[in-house]
A and B are shown apart, each in its own frame.
Chain A
């Protein structure tokens, strides 16, 4: 469907839930919990790697108000993964709810359920655990072949061959090569080679992980969870708890941010287990410290890049070698690893050979998991930093190097199996961005005074829209008895606005005002299946499912209307909430159609259901430009201006797209300049509060300016692609490049701090 004369799609409609959540109406997990739910606390390992020799809970159990204390002796002996991925998951089944081995500081040792928090904490202090402390694997660059094996258990399994060699601490090995990289590199006039270290980053969503569980009147387990993936949580729980999936219902209320973090399960299993054991409602709320140190982060990586270009500046070879730190458990290890290449190599297609190789390794640190960008963020930092370096070697403006080398519409790329690129406005994004930032005047640097120098830098990036051949989404629309529409979706709005956007799509197709549609979403009992909101899939896949369902339903309404009007379907149209005969000889309102079909003797509720998956995952693009000011005496870097120009296909809701982009850019700025998950040399996380882990505050981010260059993606709803993730990727390489252009310091280890810049400047003098 072309995006012309649209009434809903393409309009900046406020979110349908916006006013109520903004003004604090009870809508989140904790708001909905029953007042007398048991409060859960988790006793966590103080050691990075240890075996539990003995555990004595008897004293703790005697504390008045303690309901139960569960240890590894009380859980099903079955391994599972917390990764929220479609079955069969490509993440290893390497964890149990509780185990006699603990693999990072913060790993769960015992679950305490009590009448209130104070009692639970009091009981926790009385649990006596004796550990045999093992030598931990902390440095991911030394994990392979380390004398300690993080997962030595025999019963660890995986649904796929992901290159798991647990005895070597390798959770996944990956290699993809097209052409002979070594040979092409040898023939290149210009070769650059460098190593980059994108760091672990914390999601730091404002609502911490939480889950509230109870058994309903049928004895079924109901889990109200702040999750992005209710259907996956249901499946996980069925396996981990060894109960039939029919006995579980997962409900996702409003959630306070996810960023991929809530694509991995957290406290759900603990609360669910307590409810099953006690029959009582239970509530677990991770505090901020647990959220920082006992959930997941972005994978820290080391990425070696080699790039080769010919004398004309065409990039002919790209070689990436990745080492990824997955921490103590392998959630998302193999897929994040492969995505490093999947979402970077297709950017440039004048290549003759490309390759990505690498390993994801186990270490005794908090697990890494899904995080907005999902490997693309790390890969973009490495590749784009190298491309900037190449541009300098070639003495070609970095924007021109990109324009020369990027994949264009209708073209193929080496790793793309011959599929043609359906849409791209990346060239326009680059041109627009450099104009907005004032590239011509400002590149590479401007000296403001004896102590202040400004530099500009840039990077481009791509992501996918859904997971090709795996991601699916279903939607159902019903004409309700009152002549309105119920839109049932499994997609999970986490503030992203998908409930609104999907309603807009339905309203557009059905040609009804938005307020005729209400949304019911995120409940595994009533929603059609959807893996959840991740992999930038919701607008693209769920959007198409909604579009299909709406079209089908509209056809049915026309059919019925025609029947009531005694006309053929070709001779009626839908207009102003009525079906009308083209000849003007009669009309019937939607309300009347509903009444006559559903009520009385109609015996026919009109509804349509559609499922959509895609064989391709069309990339959205961003060109990002940073202007920084560096204090040459102190190394301090201030971000002055950040321009991002985005191609997300058609914008279904421009304002929501803009906020996604601004938020993603600022998260990327955080990664570039401030954020870093750090551990002590004993493996304890040091950055486990907002005091020690600084996400950007509003004084830190300078000015962020977003512009859009729309393309039209033929496979997407109304031409839409995705935007959720792609926006997080450009700030690290663009800012690092801007600093380089200002003062000649190339930072390889993120984040860029004043001290790193200062020390490098000293070395240069």
Chain B
């Protein structure tokens, strides 16, 4: 049971950040689905509801998603359903249920950098920027490598371009955490392959992405790129699968998602 001693509902980000850094156990409250399961004793809970950060909108060639947007908003938002083969919508649509996704937030999901995250895997193959209150803007892939630091994730900015993408998540039961997540995208000649739930945090298979970008997308090359991805990434074992199985899955699923992107291309 987590406890919250005090509650703050700041009107300004500045104030929120100040409270956050004032004491070690002061904490931002997202949808609280994850916090609720912890035994955390929170000093001041910081509710961002008054900051109106629950938007998803287009802004100067970017799709901008506020930290307090719910996962269900990502799923149903017309802009996101149309962009990038709808992979952001797709990536969240199997997380527990509609009611759950109406409550949990994009900001928490990204800030927490969960290994199992479906959303992060999908975001990683897009041109995604994370905007932190204190840390400023940075590409998502840089953010993912940064150590945890107390900050407020304010919004995500995704360059709205013609990127084609595909996402798939391998699950045992439909509403379980993923055994493996795969996202693949293509813009001009550049390919990006990301693998999540390894079970570690999502990463880009750099060598495989490069190999694919340089070739002619023959069946053999695709097969080879998938193998490179499986070989270059590290996989671990947890209750949902062993490292060896994940590696084997990775190869199969990367190949399939590349094919999927090629399919959207020809359509």
Q: Are any A and B Cβ atoms less than 8 Å apart in their complex?
A: yes
Which A residue sits closest to B252, measured CB to CB?
A: A633
Q: Is B173 a contact of A755 with CB atoms below 8 Å?
A: no
Contact mask for chain A residues 630-647; partner B; CB cutoff 8 A; 1 contact, 0 none: 000110100000000000
**Segment touching B, from A97-105, A603-611, A693-701:** A693-701
Given A755-B245, A759-B245, check contact A634 B174 (CB 8 Å).
no
Shortest distance from the beta carbon of A285 to any chain B beta carbon, whole Å: 14
Residues of A with C-beta under 8 A to B245? 755, 758-759
Taken together as a complex, chains A and B put the C-alpha atoms of A674 and B176 apart, in Å, by 10
Q: Please name 30 pairs of A and B residues whose Cβ atoms are closer than 8 Å in the assembled complex, sorted by A.
A: A117-B1, A118-B1, A121-B1, A633-B252, A634-B170, A634-B248, A634-B249, A634-B252, A634-B253, A636-B170, A674-B172, A678-B239, A686-B239, A691-B177, A692-B239, A694-B172, A694-B173, A694-B175, A694-B176, A696-B173, A697-B174, A697-B175, A699-B174, A754-B170, A754-B172, A754-B179, A755-B241, A755-B245, A758-B245, A758-B248
Taken together as a complex, chains A and B put the C-alpha atoms of A117 and B3 apart, in Å, by 13
Within 8 A of A (CB), among B240-267: 241-242, 245, 248-249, 252-253
Contact mask for chain B residues 229-240; partner A; CB cutoff 8 A; 1 contact, 0 none: 000000000010
B173 interface neighbour in A678, A697, A758, Cβ under 8 Å: A697
Residues of B with C-beta under 8 A to A655? none
Taken together as a complex, chains A and B put the C-alpha atoms of A686 and B240 apart, in Å, by 12
Contact mask for chain B residues 155-198; partner A; CB cutoff 8 A; 1 contact, 0 none: 00000000000000010111111010000000000000000000
Residues of A with C-beta under 8 A to B174? 697, 699-700
Residues of A with C-beta under 8 A to B170? 634, 636, 754
Residues of A with C-beta under 8 A to B253? 634
Taken together as a complex, chains A and B put the C-alpha atoms of A754 and B1 apart, in Å, by 35
Q: Is B172 a contact of A753 with CB atoms below 8 Å?
A: yes
Within 8 A of B (CB), among A688-730: 691-692, 694, 696-697, 699-700
Residues of A with C-beta under 8 A to B248? 634, 758
Residues of B with C-beta under 8 A to A118? 1
Shortest distance from the beta carbon of A250 to any chain B beta carbon, whole Å: 31
Shortest distance from the beta carbon of A634 to any chain B beta carbon, whole Å: 6
Q: How many residues of A contact B (CB 8 A)?
A: 21
Taken together as a complex, chains A and B put the C-alpha atoms of A117 and B252 apart, in Å, by 50
Taken together as a complex, chains A and B put the C-alpha atoms of A350 and B174 apart, in Å, by 44
Residues of B with C-beta under 8 A to A696? 173
Residues of A with C-beta under 8 A to B177? 691
Residues of B with C-beta under 8 A to A691? 177
Q: Is B239 a contact of A699 with CB atoms below 8 Å?
A: no
Q: A694-B173, A697-B173, A759-B245 are in contact. List 7 more A-B contacts (CB 8 A).
A: A117-B1, A634-B249, A634-B252, A694-B175, A700-B174, A754-B179, A755-B242
Q: Is A700 a contact of B173 with CB atoms below 8 Å?
A: yes
Shortest distance from the beta carbon of A350 to any chain B beta carbon, whole Å: 40
Shortest distance from the beta carbon of A388 to any chain B beta carbon, whole Å: 24
Residues of A with C-beta under 8 A to B172? 674, 694, 753-754
Binding site for A on B (CB under 8 A): 1, 170, 172-177, 179, 239, 241-242, 245, 248-249, 252-253
Given A121-B1, A633-B252, A634-B249, check contact A674 B242 (CB 8 Å).
no
3 smallest beta-carbon distances between A and B, as pairs: A699-B174, A694-B173, A633-B252
Taken together as a complex, chains A and B put the C-alpha atoms of A694 and B178 apart, in Å, by 13
Shortest distance from the beta carbon of A763 to any chain B beta carbon, whole Å: 13
Interface centre among A121, A686, A754 (most CB of B within 10 A): A754
Taken together as a complex, chains A and B put the C-alpha atoms of A697 and B242 apart, in Å, by 24
Residues of B with C-beta under 8 A to A674? 172-173
Taken together as a complex, chains A and B put the C-alpha atoms of A708 and B176 apart, in Å, by 34
Shortest distance from the beta carbon of B259 to any chain A beta carbon, whole Å: 11
Taken together as a complex, chains A and B put the C-alpha atoms of A582 and B253 apart, in Å, by 80
Taken together as a complex, chains A and B put the C-alpha atoms of A450 and B174 apart, in Å, by 24
Residues of A with C-beta under 8 A to B1? 117-118, 121
Shortest distance from the beta carbon of B249 to any chain A beta carbon, whole Å: 6
Shortest distance from the beta carbon of B188 to any chain A beta carbon, whole Å: 30
Interface centre among A634, A678, A758 (most CB of B within 10 A): A634
Shortest distance from the beta carbon of B43 to any chain A beta carbon, whole Å: 17
Taken together as a complex, chains A and B put the C-alpha atoms of A754 and B239 apart, in Å, by 13
Taken together as a complex, chains A and B put the C-alpha atoms of A568 and B66 apart, in Å, by 86
Contact mask for chain A residues 754-765; partner B; CB cutoff 8 A; 1 contact, 0 none: 110011000000
Shortest distance from the beta carbon of B171 to any chain A beta carbon, whole Å: 9
Which A residue sits closest to B244, measured CB to CB?
A: A759
Taken together as a complex, chains A and B put the C-alpha atoms of A35 and B136 apart, in Å, by 51
Which A residue sits closest to B246, measured CB to CB?
A: A755
Residues of B with C-beta under 8 A to A700? 173-174
Which A residue sits closest to B1, measured CB to CB?
A: A121
Which A residue sits closest to B251, measured CB to CB?
A: A633
Taken together as a complex, chains A and B put the C-alpha atoms of A691 and B116 apart, in Å, by 13
Taken together as a complex, chains A and B put the C-alpha atoms of A697 and B175 apart, in Å, by 7
Taken together as a complex, chains A and B put the C-alpha atoms of A692 and B116 apart, in Å, by 13
Q: Is B175 a contact of A699 with CB atoms below 8 Å?
A: yes
Taken together as a complex, chains A and B put the C-alpha atoms of A634 and B247 apart, in Å, by 11
Taken together as a complex, chains A and B put the C-alpha atoms of A700 and B172 apart, in Å, by 9
Residues of A with C-beta under 8 A to B242? 755
Shortest distance from the beta carbon of B2 to any chain A beta carbon, whole Å: 12
Interface centre among A117, A636, A692, A755 (most CB of B within 10 A): A755
Shortest distance from the beta carbon of A604 to any chain B beta carbon, whole Å: 58
Residues of B with C-beta under 8 A to A633? 252
Which A residue sits closest to B97, measured CB to CB?
A: A697
Residues of B with C-beta under 8 A to A117? 1
Within 8 A of B (CB), among A630-676: 633-634, 636, 674
Taken together as a complex, chains A and B put the C-alpha atoms of A118 and B173 apart, in Å, by 35
Which B residue sits closest to A699, measured CB to CB?
A: B174
Contact mask for chain A residues 734-765; partner B; CB cutoff 8 A; 1 contact, 0 none: 00000000000000000001110011000000
Which A residue sits closest to B249, measured CB to CB?
A: A634
Shortest distance from the beta carbon of A420 to any chain B beta carbon, whole Å: 45
Taken together as a complex, chains A and B put the C-alpha atoms of A699 and B96 apart, in Å, by 11
Residues of B with C-beta under 8 A to A121? 1
Shortest distance from the beta carbon of B213 to any chain A beta carbon, whole Å: 25
Shortest distance from the beta carbon of A692 to any chain B beta carbon, whole Å: 7
Shortest distance from the beta carbon of A720 to any chain B beta carbon, whole Å: 35
Residues of B with C-beta under 8 A to A758? 245, 248
Residues of A with C-beta under 8 A to B179? 754
Shortest distance from the beta carbon of A69 to any chain B beta carbon, whole Å: 19
Residues of A with C-beta under 8 A to B252? 633-634
Taken together as a complex, chains A and B put the C-alpha atoms of A636 and B179 apart, in Å, by 12
